[in-house]
Amino acid sequence: MSFYSPVITNAAEVARSESLHLFRYVEDPDQYKVETFEKHGGYEAWKKVVTSMKPDQVIAEVKNSGLRGRGGAGFPTGMKWGFVPKDSPKARYLICNADESEPGTCKDRVIMERDPHAVIEGMAIGAFAIGCHRMFIYIRGEFGHCIERMEGAVKEAYTRGHLGKNVYGSGYDLDMVVHSGGGAYICGEETALLNSLEGEKGLSRIRPPFPAIAGLYASPTIVNNVETLAAVPHIINRGADWYKTMGTEKSAGSKIFSLSGHVKRPGNYEVPLGFSLKTLIYDEKYGAGIRDGKKLKAVIPGGASTPFLTPDMVDVGLDYESLQSVGSMLGSGAIIVLDEDTCIVWTIMKLIHFFRHESCGKCTPCREGTGWLEQLVTRIEHGEGRPGDIDKIDDLCGNILGRTICPLGDAAVMPIQSAIKLFRDEWQYHIDHKKCPCPNNHEFK
């Protein structure tokens, strides 16, 4: 059985590169098999770690590399691992967060489908670093192929002795559980993921306690993104200093960007952090420019929850700091490109519908606010907006931002606030003319 999701990648370029690594073998149709993975140097880092390194050394190496979480928050991975209390009598758990459901993001899926052992190897190293003997991967329920691939890979890894009792004779036991989610965006939020994994409803938990202290089954738990963990074996193999040769001073390494929207070549591209957004959109090797000869209108640079960029802002480096300096975020690296025919209000309506639908319903501002916002935005898009609606939306967003248990509330309102700030005239047009000005929105014409 071989399966490919039809996604364009820059695997060939990565293979030629000295340092890019995540996508090196993703176009190899046999890479998902353990033999092929081993042939390409797979599991060497894990073997090295478990037979010759101490957990502290692993954590130090990852800390030195400057690797930061690729799920969206960008928290330094080594530092996170270091938070696990050394003296806790409880079991510790490592969980790979593969509940990739941010609209526009599809990078983890490619890794899991085509290079599942890379994830297992990264998880194993992380597990060893924190003293975990049972690790979990929580895969988005809709990713049927990923679940099949991961389950197959885990089975192979056990057969080849990469997992199980006394791995490589090191005396270290490591088990892995593949868990399929139930189809909720909120379960990508780590505390909701923990509830879901425990068999509860996927509602986010209040922090503190942070998962590193009391997470799964109230035990110290580390939750890492797929891409983060997939990078770990390379850091072990080639060293922290090598990893730092890529990217910027504060944002080291490479990252996969999921480029989608109105570009000619949407796809997953691995580039060093700090790479120019403009190049990614316009270069022939990547996005190859806006399709149908249209002009660029806006870019969502980091997944559906990040503020918009306007064309004058796209000459920016794709790293945590640069995007922050222009008022947006790197997020999960899902770049959504919108052309001149796209209505911003329509886009926001689609986004807020998503967030309203995915709000877990636990805390008041997000539960009630997203519903109200959806009603208001929909009304405006349908030409039924009332004077004052824009300010009302802006004010409601302010009442949600920073007031919720988990970041879903923030995620829902940040793009709205930026859309109002950057495109207020267009919102006003809807209200004044009682219609949507853009021809691209087929649904409501």
Q: Which stretch binds another protein (CB under 8 A): 280-288, 321-329, 367-375, 435-443?
A: 367-375
Please say whether the dihedral angle defined by the alpha carbons of residues 251, 413, 278 and 260, taken in this order, is positive or negative: positive
| Closest to 196 (Cα-Cα) out of 177, 180, 208 | 180
When asked if residue 65 is in the footprint of another protein (CB under 8 A), the reply is no
Which range touches another protein (CB under 8 A), out of 37-45, 166-174, 269-277, 365-373? Answer: 365-373
> Residue 70 Cβ, how far from another protein at the closest point, in Å?
24
**Min CB(388)–another protein separation in Å:** 9
**Nearer of residues 271 and 405 to another protein, judged by Cβ:** 405
Q: Which of 254, 268, 370, 441 binds another protein (CB under 8 A)?
A: 370
Report if residue 305 touches another protein, rule: CB under 8 A: no
Handedness of CA 286, 292, 295, 296 (dihedral sign): negative
Virtual CA dihedral for 191, 398, 104, 322, nearest 10 degrees?
-100
Stretch that binds another protein, among 117-125, 152-160, 276-284, 350-358 (CB under 8 A): 350-358
**Does 208 contact another protein by CB under 8 A?**
yes
Q: Which tokens is 57 given? A: 């050394």
- In the bound state with another protein, the residue whose beta carbon lies nearer, of 170 and 219, is 219
How many CA atoms lie within 13 Å of 26's alpha carbon, on the beta-carbon side? 30
Which residues, in sequence order, are bridge partners of residue 225? 97
Q: Give the span between the Cα atoms of 384 and 380, in whole angstroms.
A: 5
Among 211, 215, 365, 385, binds another protein (CB under 8 A): 365
Stretch that binds another protein, among 96-104, 204-212, 223-231, 432-440 (CB under 8 A): 204-212
Is 201 one of the binding residues for another protein (CB under 8 A)? yes
* Residues 119 and 215: beta-carbon distance below 8 Å: no
Q: Kindly tell me the number of DSSP H helices and DSSP E strands found in the chain.
A: 18, 11
Under a CB-based contact definition with an 8 Å cutoff, are residues 158 and 164 in contact? yes
* Binders in 173-192 for another protein, by CB under 8 A: 184, 186
Q: How many Cβ atoms sit within 10 Å of the Cβ of residue 47?
A: 17
364 binds another protein (CB under 8 A): yes
Structure tokens at 111: 């890794």
Q: For the CB of residue 194, give the shortest distance to another protein in the complex, in Å.
A: 14
* Segment interacting with another protein, rule: CB under 8 A, options 11-19, 332-340, 353-361, 421-429: 353-361
Least distance to another protein, CB of residue 361, Å: 4
Could you please report the per-residue DSSP string of 222-278?
EEEEHHHHHHHHHHHHH-HHHHHTSB-SSSBSEEEEEEEESBSS-EEEEEETTEEHH
**Do you know the residue count of the chain?**
445
Stretch binding another protein (CB under 8 A), from 40-48, 68-76, 78-86, 360-368:
360-368
For residues 433 and 198, give the distance between their C-alpha atoms in angstroms, rounded to a whole number.
51
Nearer to another protein, 395 or 425 (CB): 395
Question: Whose Cβ is closer to another protein: residue 265's or residue 403's?
Answer: 403
If binding means CB under 8 A, how many residues of this protein chain bind another protein?
30
Q: According to CB under 8 A, which residues from 115 to 174 bind another protein?
A: none
The piece of 228-236, 322-330, 356-364, 427-435 that touches another protein (CB under 8 A) is: 356-364
- Give the count of alpha carbons within 13 A of 141, CB side only: 10
Q: Does residue number 90 form part of the binding site for another protein (CB under 8 A)?
A: no
353 binds another protein (CB under 8 A): no
From 359, 413, 427, 441, residue interacting with another protein (rule: CB under 8 A) = 359
> Per residue in 312-323, is it b (16+ CB within 10 Å) or e — as a string?
ebbebbbbbebb
Question: With contact defined as beta carbons under 8 Å apart, do 232 and 122 qualify?
Answer: yes
Q: Can you read off the two tokens belonging to residue 107?
A: 């990078």
Site string for another protein, 377-416 (x = CB under 8 A): ---------x-----x------x--xxxx-----------
Other beta carbons less than 10 A from residue 7's beta carbon: 17
Task: Work out how close the CB of 442 gets to another protein at its nearest, in angstroms, rounded to a whole number.
Answer: 26
Place of tokens 């997953």: 268
Q: Which residues bind another protein (CB under 8 A)?
A: 184, 186, 201, 205-206, 208, 356-365, 367-372, 375, 386, 392, 399, 402-405
